[in-house]
Amino acid sequence: MTELLFRQDAYLQDHDATVTAHTSEGGVVLDGTIFYPTSGGQPGDSGRLSWPGGGIGIATTVKGDGDDVVLVPSEPLALPPVGSRVLQTLDWGRRHRHMRVHTALHLLSVVIPLPVAGGSIGAEKGRLDFDMPEPLDDRDAIEAQINDLIERDLKVTDDWITDEELLANPGLVKTMSVMPPMGAGRVRLVRIGEGASQVDLQPCGGTHVARTSEIGRVRLGKIEKKGKRNRRVNLLLEL
């Protein structure tokens, strides 16, 4: 089982770890990782592993067997031996942009309060697919509302509830077809704002910025019709 250090602190940029296994595909498993594995529409992290006498680039990170997280090398070089200590270093610029985009998409789901059919996160932009039979009335107003929430510098925190509590509060889940991972006994909630200033609370396992002001300004991109009821709303960072 890999300890998810990014869940404890999304701002860790490098950290020591011990190699616990190699996969048959040539991946590396650590006892604890700051690398986020591909899931929930957020790409897996990239970066580098270093150890005395060696080093290797990491192209992406994926979920492995059970609770393992697998770091996928960018080229077929020698792997660090099982049991050795390594320094893991994130491509922090890419990860931080994922955090900004991911948090901005939570705000997009606030200003467009419709069921979400899917989504994707990139380093410059992201998108949500909404159950939206009719087009948006005023895209400029939507963009202004998101940027207003960003500028309010709302705190972003997480909390945990039990599986049973989530089932008793189905309104917390905005996605139509995918339920948050359950079965471990508890589910992580991401909260934007506190007390009377809270604007969003939903299950999410991804990484986010600590305050909305860190996102920076965003703009709406293309709004595409996808099927009879769905519309895809793209959101771009103003880098």
For residue 74, pLDDT over 70 is answered with yes
Q: What is the pLDDT of residue 178?
A: 57
Which tokens sit at 93? 């610029």
Poorest-confidence range of 20-24, 107-111, 165-169? 165-169
Find the helix or strand (DSSP H, E) in which 232 lies. strand 230-237
If you search the block for the tokens 């020591």, which residue do you land on?
A: 16
* Domains, the chain, ordered by start: 3-90 (2.40.30.130), 95-237 (3.30.980.10)
3 state DSSP class of 208: coil
Q: Number of H helices and number of E strands within the chain?
A: 4, 15
The model scores a pTM over 0.85: yes
For range 139-151, the mean pLDDT: 96
Q: What is the DSSP-derived secondary structure letter of residue 52?
A: T
Res. 180 pLDDT band, cuts 50 70 90: low
**Coil, strand, or helix at residue 141?**
helix
Q: What is the pLDDT of residue 168?
A: 81
pLDDT in tens, 75-100: 999 999 999 999 999 999 999 999 99
Kindly calculate the radius of gyration of the chain based on its CA atoms and give it in whole angstroms. Answer: 19
